[in-house]
Structure 1
Amino acid sequence: MEAGKLQERLQKRHQARAEEAERRREARESQAVLEEKGEYFCGSFNAERTAIEELLSGCGAVTSRLEEATARTLQLQKFLNDSTGFLTQYELRQAQAGLQKLQSGLSEAREEALPRKKFTFRARTRAAEKTPETADACTPADDKTPDACTPADDGVSKLHAPAESEQCSFSNMDGVRLTKTAEQIQKRDVLLSHLTNCKVRLLGSPSTLHLKHIAGCEILCGPVSSSVFIDHCKDSTLALPCQQLRTHNTTDTKVYLHVTSRAIIEDCRGVSFAPFSWSYPALEEDFVTSGLDRDRNNWSQVDDFNWLAAGTHSPNWSVIPEEERKTTWDP
């Protein structure tokens, strides 16, 4: 009997060792597969990025080359979004930095190909300063300047920009309501900069959205087909859907988000997130135009590049409690 029990224990020990060896082998194989995928991604991504950069360097005024570079950059963005599941944090960060550089290059190439007149402003009247909430922005002017924007009754001069321009923007404003229609922003790059205490409504589907030096603002935007870049934003509320969100130097800001990859923050504190909840009549049509997946929302999956402690939540961002979330945006 004792010999039988000993044999049984030896068999169990041998089986356990064999199973452990098999688990280790499978783990090594899985790691090798991930490394192989990562190497393939990095090689393919960097080769395509270099090709797009070369394409941009020779764009000049050739619109067809600029359109090709834009389309290939969007495809590269999709390639990255589809690969986030197996990339390391370093690989992901490097790829996103490369994409941001391409986006900047595209904006510069568009400005070179389609030069825009600089916006000019007059000082606002005292009446406008006393009642900034009456200012409403961006309705087409006359037939001679079809893409000009005139904030109503705020004393600000007309903002003249050629209709061919691929970028539209609001800059250097305080205490006004600003609106752009789908016709004005569809598939364009939108830039909002140096805005204070403003309420902004962006209807339609921009290509990209850049927010820079924003303070005390409420900014609501339709589906952005690629990326949203935020830099130096404070004490604000944002609502936006996009493929990718990258946020820098931002404090005490609430973000109502629909994002199909993962949100990224860096050098931020006091940033809180909730699901995107703004709505307007053509929202669903704009989601179709943008190409965003309506059913895929990673609003609570946030990567903080300043907090790499595995298994511990970053203190720089939080989830907005359900009872504190805003659900009504416009009267």
Structure 2
Amino acid sequence: MDEEDRSQPNQFSSETLDPIAQMKHATMLERLSNLQRSRLQQSAARRSDSAASSPAFESVRSFLDRFSDSKRSIEADLACCRALASDPASAPNLKPELEKVSASIADLDRLVAENSYFLPSYEVRSSLKAISELKEALDSANSELMPRKKFSFKNKAPKKDPCVLVKQIEQIKVLDAEKSSPVCVRDSPGFWNKEDAVLVKRFRVSEEGEGDFSLSDLSSCEVYLKGRIRALFVHRLRNCRIFAGPVQGSVLIEDVNDCLFMLASHQIRIHQARATDFYLRVRSRPIIEDSSGVRFAPYRLFYEGIDEELKDSGLGEETGYWANVDDFKWLRAVQSPNWCLIPEEERVGTMNASDREEQCDDK
């Protein structure tokens, strides 16, 4: 009896506790399920907020779509201009249409400038290159399609002296021979075909030669150009050191190896440079093409009067563009391996050219 009495409470207790445990277990599962659902909802909300607060990718994509549409529209307008040129009745409309294309290219150029702050650098370079090609196509269309001035036959052209014809033929031969040197201009003053020389040229405001200047086929030379010039053309230099005052226009450099350039200019374009250092002050991003092992640092040239000359040439202030180089043959998102900045400890000090006087006549 006692044994039966003892067994009954245990059986009752077991049957009583099981439903309670089951209820607790069910409540716990429901709580966990609700918690998991809440976490999933919060995660989805965070992803949505993140996408809404990070529109950079969509902005770049939107820009590229708009740029492509505008580019195609301009190309179509150019094609229409060529079609108009073939119809004499539509010829009067040709000039306004070409002007319209020019305005569209200007708008596209402005679009890139206004959005360049968030665009990847390779997209900016690619867009600028496409705009440059559109401008070249427009220039070509203008020269081909616009009606030329009619020739006047009032005065009969004099017969050319045979000696003049021979001279012109010889000039053509010289030009053909110099096609391998397209950068330099033979008619401009310059230093040509020198080796192991110190070459100094002082440009004065009163001189007519304060225009273009050329450096070509120099080897192991030091060149000092003091004063303002309009443009500088450089071609085929080996192991040279070039120090130049302000260039009011462009510097065009081609085929240089193992050189050092110290230049101040509004635009600088470098083609086929190898193992060469550039110390620059420039008003726009320097451009390199087909180059490798080139390095950049800020301008460090001094001579008496250079500060005033730089100011008068619009180069009085440092812009920092020397450190922002465009490699037109490298359109990827990562840094071009063809150029870098010169480490501080490897940069040359300020070059004082005050005591350099003219020692060699140009040409």
Alignment check: 8 A CA contact 2:246 2:313 kept: yes
Deviations 1:211-257 (A, max 9, x none): 11122222111222332211011222110122332211222222111
Change (3 A) 1:96 1:238: farther
Long gaps (5+) in structure 1: 48-75, 102-117, 119-160
Distance 1:191 1:82 in 2: 33
Question: Which position in structure 2 is the counterpart of 1:141?
Answer: none
- Structure 2 counterpart of 1:171, from 181, 184, 192: 192
2:287 is aligned with 1:264:
yes
Change (3 A) 1:97 1:283: farther
Tell me the CA shift for residue 200 of structure 1. 1.9
Alignment check: 8 A CA contact 2:257 2:276 kept: yes
Distance 1:248 1:228 in 2: 11
Distance 2:311 2:113 in 1: 19
- Match of 1:292, SS? coil
Distance 2:312 2:326 in 1: 28
Alignment check: 8 A CA contact 1:187 1:206 kept: yes
2:275 is aligned with 1:245:
no
State the one-letter code of the partner of 1:325. Answer: R
Distance 1:100 1:213 in 2: 27
- Structure 2 counterpart of 1:323, from 336, 342, 345: 345
Tell me the CA shift for residue 301 of structure 1. 2.3
- Match of 2:318, SS? coil
State the one-letter code of the partner of 2:286. Answer: A
- Match of 2:293, SS? strand
**Highest relative contact order (Cα 8 Å, sep 6+), 1 or 2?**
2
> Which of these two proteins has the greater Rg computed from alpha carbons?
2
C-alpha RMSD over aligned residues: 4.0
Distance 1:198 1:312 in 2: 33
State the one-letter code of the partner of 1:236. Answer: C
State the one-letter code of the partner of 1:88. Answer: V
- Match of 1:226, SS? strand
Change (3 A) 1:168 1:82: farther
- 1:271-290 equivalence runs, <5 A: 271-290=294-313
Distance 1:42 1:275 in 2: 40
Alignment check: 8 A CA contact 1:260 1:293 kept: no
Deviations 1:248-270 (A, max 9, x none): 12222221112232222222233
Distance 1:200 1:42 in 2: 48
Identity of aligned residues (%): 30
Question: Which position in structure 2 is the counterpart of 1:89?
Answer: 125
Change (3 A) 1:215 1:289: same
Change (3 A) 1:233 1:88: same
Change (3 A) 1:281 1:319: same
Tell me the CA shift for residue 284 of structure 1. 2.1
Distance 2:57 2:245 in 1: 43
Alignment check: 8 A CA contact 1:186 1:205 kept: no
Question: Which position in structure 2 is the counterpart of 1:231?
Answer: 254
- 1:91-110 equivalence runs, <5 A: 91-94=127-130
- Match of 1:201, SS? strand
Distance 1:242 1:90 in 2: 24
Change (3 A) 1:194 1:298: same
Tell me the CA shift for residue 16 of structure 1. 1.8
- 1:291-310 equivalence runs, <5 A: 291-292=314-315, 294-310=317-333
Q: Number of residues paired by the alignment? A: 237
Distance 1:15 1:244 in 2: 50
- 1:1-331 equivalence runs, <5 A: 2=31, 5-6=35-36, 8-23=38-53, 27-33=57-63, 36=66, 88-94=124-130, 167-174=188-195, 175-183=197-205, 184=207, 188-292=211-315, 294-314=317-337, 316-329=338-351, 330=353
Alignment check: 8 A CA contact 1:219 1:237 kept: yes
Deviations 1:57-112 (A, max 9, x none): xxxxxxxxxxxxxxxxxxx9xx79967655532233355678999xxxxxxxxxxx
Tell me the CA shift for residue 279 of structure 1. 1.3
State the one-letter code of the partner of 1:240. Answer: L
Distance 1:10 1:246 in 2: 56
Alignment check: 8 A CA contact 2:307 2:316 kept: no
Deviations 1:281-300 (A, max 9, x none): 22222222222361312222
Distance 1:10 1:229 in 2: 61
Change (3 A) 1:32 1:14: same
Distance 2:130 2:198 in 1: 38
